[in-house]
């Protein structure tokens, strides 16, 4: 794929315009999207996923579409698509259960008692962690409780938990806070803050926070700094160990494609494990070598595995393993380059066509301050708009009353998906306006 030189101050719009001139294809033409797809070095990754078709989706008007055609799925920020190998891995473990019963705990390619350990390397690579800083366990909400029990230690003078709100305050005239505003607040109020707990990527606006700077300033003020990375893990490159994040946790059903209710992951930096040991104990956090000795004396596993509570669910480990197999075919840096191109192309088309429909992009315009998601704010309630999009086989995410989150995911979405979405949206808006 033609790519921007990171050292050049070239806007995405100028970049696309240059390609259009070079190849004699308008950026707003379907042929431009096709050209970008043909040049995409990651286009083969889509073949590793099961992509929904028009005939299988709820609410599609089959008289208005080709029922055998692939739908326009731009909702990976809510639920990632299923990797093709998922079914095989799940059926393999079901078959083992049927044939071996309890012996499946220690047998086969995925011994159930160790199934979570098979996922650690892949997760560590995605988020930039050491393997002993990662544990795959529980759900995201449970893990937030586990981590806050260990890390939130209020005192009479330091007890505040600093978090972001949904859309950041409107008195700033935008839907997000700048990093400088966050750092200024930390500098002024940090002495009273026990815990900084932000999202890596805000679910509503799609803003990608400056994790290293916020972490550094927060810790310099004596705060514990943790991150909810539900919308960041698998979306944007992370370097949790290098950035000295105290702790983090994330789910796996969005950009990590592990299925609804999939396993969560915990990160605890090696430097703070001893000072913040597990506060909620479970038998699976006990050293595996002596776990079944039943001495009633806790002997923690080494590293982040000590924070585990109970036996990992093998059937939930299978979808995550299938997804990690796809991630292993590329790098987060390569995915990031494609993501910037996809959202930049979406931004270009929105700016070209939708100003007259009172559609506003509330995601930061700087591509370094966003991930895969672009949030669109309309001057109307979007419930009816979304129903009409569904009739055309367009799947995106609605936040009432007036926001639609559109997410071309780097692993499996294409420039043609983006083109088809914008044209479908234009068609719907035109008919609703008539």
For the chain, domains (ranges, CATH) are 12-81+332-433 (3.90.1150.10), 115-327 (3.40.640.10)
pLDDT, residue 112, reads 98
Q: Is 56 among the annotated ligand-binding positions?
A: no
What is the Cα–Cα distance from 432 to 422, expressed in whole angstroms?
15
Q: Is 401 among the annotated ligand-binding positions?
A: no
Q: Which of 268-282, 319-333, 356-370, 391-405 has the lowest mean pLDDT?
A: 356-370
Q: Is 171 among the annotated ligand-binding positions?
A: yes
Residue 245 has pLDDT above 80, yes or no: yes
What is the Cα–Cα distance from 169 to 205, expressed in whole angstroms?
12
Section 15-30 average pLDDT: 97
Is 306 in contact with 285 (CB distance < 8 Å)?
yes
The set of residues, in sequence order, having a beta carbon less than 8 Å from that of 99 and lying 6+ positions away, is: none
Query: What Cα–Cα distance (Å) separates residue 258 from each residue in 33, 49, 75, 324?
Result: 29, 12, 14, 9
Q: Is 170 among the annotated ligand-binding positions?
A: yes
Section 173-192 average pLDDT: 87
Higher pLDDT: 379 or 76? It is 76
Q: Give residue for tokens 């750092």.
A: 183
Q: Which of 147-151, 177-181, 222-226, 359-363 has the lowest mean pLDDT?
A: 177-181
pLDDT band at residue 10 using 50, 70 and 90 as cut-offs = low
Q: Is 327 among the annotated ligand-binding positions?
A: no
What is the Cα–Cα distance from 315 to 93, expressed in whole angstroms?
7
Section 386-405 average pLDDT: 96
Give the residue from 74, 53, 49 showing the smallest Cα distance to 65: 53
DSSP 168: P
Section 127-148 average pLDDT: 98
Q: Is 255 among the annotated ligand-binding positions?
A: no
Section 424-432 average pLDDT: 93
Query: What Cα–Cα distance (Å) separates residue 44 from each residue in 40, 294, 320, 411?
Result: 9, 50, 20, 9
Q: Is 49 among the annotated ligand-binding positions?
A: no
Q: Is 168 among the annotated ligand-binding positions?
A: yes
pLDDT, residue 168, reads 41
pLDDT, residue 176, reads 72
Note the residue count of the chain: 434
Is 319 in contact with 262 (CB distance < 8 Å)?
yes
Section 324-351 average pLDDT: 98
Q: For 24, left (φ over 0), alpha (ψ -120 to 50), or beta? A: left
Q: Is 283 among the annotated ligand-binding positions?
A: yes
What is the Cα–Cα distance from 305 to 266, expressed in whole angstroms?
9
Give the residue from 94, 112, 115 showing the smallest Cα distance to 104: 112
pLDDT > 90 fraction of the chain, expressed in percent and rounded: 90
Residue 157 is encoded by which pair of tokens?
Answer: 């003078």
């Amino acid at each position: 794929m033609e790519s921007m030189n990171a050292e050049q101050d070239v806007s995405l719009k100028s970049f696309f315009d240059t390609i259009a001139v070079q190849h004699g294809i308008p950026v707003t033409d379907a042929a431009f999207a096709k050209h970008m797809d043909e040049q995409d070095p990651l286009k083969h990754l889509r073949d590793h996923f099961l992509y929904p078709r028009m005939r299988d989706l709820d609410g599609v008007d089959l008289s208005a579409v080709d029922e055998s055609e692939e739908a326009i799925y731009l909702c990976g920020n809510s639920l990632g698509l299923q990797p093709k190998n998922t079914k095989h891995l799940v059926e393999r473990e079901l078959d083992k259960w049927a044939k071996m019963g309890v012996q499946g705990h220690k047998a086969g390619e995925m011994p159930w008692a160790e199934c979570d350990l098979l996922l650690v390397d892949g997760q560590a690579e995605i988020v930039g962690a050491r393997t002993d800083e990662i544990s795959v366990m529980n759900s995201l909400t449970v893990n937030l409780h586990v981590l806050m029990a260990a890390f939130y230690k209020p005192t009479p003078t330091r007890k505040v938990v600093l978090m972001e709100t949904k859309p950041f305050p409107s008195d700033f005239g935008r839907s997000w806070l700048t990093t400088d505003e966050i750092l200024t607040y930390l500098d002024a109020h940090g002495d009273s803050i026990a815990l900084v707990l932000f999202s890596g990527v805000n679910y509503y606006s799609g803003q990608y926070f400056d994790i290293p700077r916020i972490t550094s300033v927060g810790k310099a003020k004596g705060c514990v700094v943790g991150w909810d990375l539900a919308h960041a893990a698998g979306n944007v490159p992370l370097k949790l160990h290098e950035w000295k994040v105290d702790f983090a946790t994330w789910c796996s059903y969005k950009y990590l494609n592990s299925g609804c209710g999939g396993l969560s992951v915990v990160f605890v930096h090696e430097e703070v494990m001893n000072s913040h040991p597990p506060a909620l104990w479970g038998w699976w956090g006990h050293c595996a070598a002596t776990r079944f000795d039943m001495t009633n004396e806790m002997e923690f596993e080494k590293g982040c595995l000590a924070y585990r509570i109970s036996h990992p669910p093998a059937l939930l480990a299978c979808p995550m393993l299938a997804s990690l197999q796809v991630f292993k075919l590329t790098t987060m840096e390569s995915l990031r380059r494609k993501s910037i191109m996809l959202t930049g192309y979406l931004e270009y088309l929105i700016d070209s066509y939708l100003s007259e429909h009172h559609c506003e992009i509330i995601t930061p315009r700087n591509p370094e301050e966003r991930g895969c998601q672009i949030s669109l704010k309309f001057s109307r309630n979007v419930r009816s708009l979304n129903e009409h999009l569904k009739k055309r086989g367009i799947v995106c995410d609605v936040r009432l009353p007036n926001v639609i989150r559109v997410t071309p995911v780097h692993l499996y979405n294409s420039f043609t998906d983006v083109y088809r979405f914008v044209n479908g949206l234009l068609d719907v808006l035109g008919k609703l306006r008539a």
